[in-house]
Amino acid sequence: MKPRTSRAGTEQAAGRIRGIPVLLLQTLLVVAVALPAGIAIAPAFLGPDRPFGASQAAPPWQQIPATLSAPGSGAAGIGPLSDNAPVPAGAALAAQLNGTLKPDGAGSFTGIVQDATTGQVLFDRAADEARIPASNMKLLTAGAALRVLGPDRRFSTRVVAGPTPGSVVLTGGGDVLLGSGESAPGAVLGRAGLATLADATVEALQAGGVTGAVSVLLDDSLFTGPSLSQAWSPEDVAAGEMAPLYPLALNSARFDPAKTTGPRPQDGAMTAAEAFAARLAAAAAAAGLSVAPGVARIGAGAPDSAYDSAHAKVLAEVQSATVGQQVDFMLQTSDNYLAEVMGRMTALGAGRPGSSDDAIAAVLAQVRDMGVPTDALRAADVSGLALANRVSARQLTDVVRAMTSGTDARLRAALSGFPVAGLTGTLGDRYTDAASAAGAGLVRAKTGTLNTVIALSGYVVDADGRLLVFSFVGNGLTPGAANKAALDRSAAVLAGCGCR
């Protein structure tokens, strides 16, 4: 059996910096979390001009705050940047990056660094070469979903009246982050809970005078086409990097929300429906009703093959976290399943069928509308798991720049989802050594990892207060080699850059 090709969705993070005092870690996190809110102040991440002290060793945006900001205080800990901040000199920056951006063993790195405000290219190493992007592909999906669906959109999971008396239909609406218990309004994973949905269903049945046994049906017809792509390695599917796609699932098609690796349910919709039926049975028993064993799919045969649950009476409903929150969760955790579902929901939102091919077409259409040239871009999926994807470092930074500095304010919602170096998401256990520690708490970037591929694309405010966007992509690398360190050192160079 050939070796597995990827770890695109399992770039797990420890969420802490070893060796850094707890107070320092907390304060770094305050600055890092506050930064996206500062970006949202204006389209170009700029505020009123303010004087810069060229001799300042530790500028305000890189200082540890004297006090911790209260949760939800937004950008109180950081002021807007000035367009008078000096732009790094390309030659000085290249001299440093050429020393850090070196592969450990085989392969090579391409890369680009741009000034976010002007788009000026400060570093370019074969930036137009189309390469396997790994999970950096999710940046394109994030931007497309925010543009089509909007950051405030929620997905509904409904229970509607079934085709026969006493039957109910659990109807998937795109929420694959369902929880099995009560709805958790403050959460993303588990924001909508099946126990809450079951309780509301029983109340509706009682109000409608239903007696006797209740039967549960499943409508997961929102998505069309194959549930698995031929572009994905069967070994990756078996290992849990991906699973057959459905418009409803528990825990992003995971058996246990606390375990984000290992095999997934191969029928996430039915797994969720059976969990709902169990919750419904418990709630029904307390109300003097009963639930018939088993769950059947709508459309599997007569008499419900022509049943239209979209126009049936709604008995109960729970709603997902917002698209903006789900996009952030997707970028933080690099979950392939959620990314592919988000792609299909984007296709549906654009008036296309909910298939894998339509997800790809819808995402690429939105990327073009962002002003990103896509002639050389090749997409085999929207999660980055497929080895057939080809995206250049320049295209990736174009997307990041659209998020930080473009005119479409909807894209700002993705910024808080970028993992923070040494603190959150898939960067939580990186930037721990002396060579990269200068970027801890400052670099925000999407990671990407396959066996021979590694990528890092994101943004950082340098020591002079200039917002930079960057992308580094390595292909043909030696599996298991220490190539993450090269990317982390290079991004840390940007964070500490005076580079003049």
Q: Which helix (H) or strand (E) holds 472?
A: strand 467-475
Side chain identity at 35, as an amino acid letter? L
Task: State residue 473 phi and psi, 5-degree precision.
Answer: -130, 120
Identity (one letter) of the amino acid at 258? A
In three-state secondary structure terms, 447 is strand
d(CA 12, CA 427): 8
| DSSP one-letter code for 408 | -
> DSSP assignment, residue 391?
B
Contacts of 86 (CB under 8 A, 6+ apart): 52, 464, 466, 500
Q: Closest by alpha carbon to 367, among 334, 389, 337, 335?
A: 389
Tell me whether strands 156-161 and 248-250 are parallel, antiparallel or unpaired.
unpaired
* DSSP-H helix ranges across 222-370: 234-239, 268-286, 323-333, 336-349, 356-369
CA angle centred on 328, ends 324 and 330, rounded to 5°: 115
Specify the DSSP element, H or E, that contains 161: strand 156-161
**Which residues lie below 8 Å from residue 179, measured CB to CB, with a gap of 6+?**
187, 189, 190, 191, 192, 193, 194, 250, 251, 257
Tokens of 212: 């006797």
How far is CA 349 from its chain centroid? 18
Provide the edge-to-edge strand list for the sheet that holds 453-461. 121-125, 108-115, 467-475, 453-461, 444-450
DSSP 8-state code for residue 113 = E
Catalytic residues: 135, 138, 334
Secondary structure letter of residue 205 according to DSSP: H
Report the alpha-carbon distance of residue 168 to residue 313 in Å, rounded. 10
The single-letter code of the amino acid at 63 is Q
* φ, ψ at 49 (rounded to 5°): -60, 140
Cβ-in-10-Å burial (0-12, 13-18, 19+) of 302 comes to: exposed
- Closest by Cα among 33, 119, 25, 68 to 398: 119
Residue 129 structure tokens: 């070469």
